[in-house]
Amino acid sequence: MPLSYQWQQRIDRWKNAVSSLFGGSGENNQPRPKLCPACGSLVGISATRCHQCGANLRFSLAAANKGLSAIFGEEAPVTRALLIANIAMFGVGYMASLAMGQSGFSFTFSGNGEALYKLGASWMPAILYLHEWYRLVTASFLHFGLLHLGMNMMVLLDIGPQVEQEFGSSRYLFFYTITGISGFALSAVRGHFAAGASCALMGMIGLLLAMNSRRAGALAQAQKSRLISWITMTFMIGFFPGVRIDNWGHFGGLAAGYLLGRIVSDREPVTPREKQVAMVLGWLAGAIIVTSFVFMFIHYRDPIPGAG
pLDDT at 73 over 90: no
What's the rounded Cα separation, in Å, for the pair 212 and 229? 14
pLDDT at 100 over 70: yes
Query: Model confidence over 42-61: pLDDT tens digits?
Result: 666 666 667 666 666 655 55
Q: Greater confidence, 223 or 134? A: 134
Query: Model confidence over 159-218: pLDDT tens digits?
Result: 999 999 999 999 999 999 999 999 999 999 999 999 999 999 999 999 999 998 888 788
Residues with Cβ within 8 Å of residue 229, at least 6 apart in sequence:
none
Query: Model confidence over 239-273: pLDDT tens digits?
Result: 766 557 889 999 999 999 999 999 988 777 888 88
Per the prediction, the chain carries an average pLDDT of: 81
Cβ proximity of 127 and 188 under 8 Å: yes
Q: How far is CA 52 from CA 41, 49, 55, 249, in A?
A: 7, 9, 8, 44
In a domain, 273, yes or no: yes
Q: Are residues 49 and 150 in the same domain?
A: no
In a domain, 165, yes or no: yes
> Pick the catalytic residue: 122, 182, 198, 292?
198
In a domain, 306, yes or no: no
Tell me whether residue 192 is one of the annotated catalytic residues: no
Tell me whether residue 198 is one of the annotated catalytic residues: yes
* Residue 25: per-residue pLDDT: 46
Rg (the chain; Cα; Å): 21
In a domain, 203, yes or no: yes
Nearest to 260 by CA among 192, 196, 182, 194: 182
What angle, 0 to 180 degrees and rounded to 10, lies between the N-to-C axes of helices 61-72 and 5-21?
Answer: 160
Number of domains present in the structure of the chain: 2
Compute CA 65 distance to the chain's CA centroid, rounded to the nearest angstrom: 15
Q: Are residues 245 and 291 in the same domain?
A: yes
Q: What is the CATH number of the domain that holds 88?
A: 1.20.1540.10
Q: Are residues 118 and 193 in the same domain?
A: yes
Q: Greater confidence, 220 or 58? A: 220
What's the rounded Cα separation, in Å, for the pair 127 and 88? 24
Structure pTM? 0.76
> Pick the catalytic residue: 143, 148, 192, 250?
250
In a domain, 153, yes or no: yes
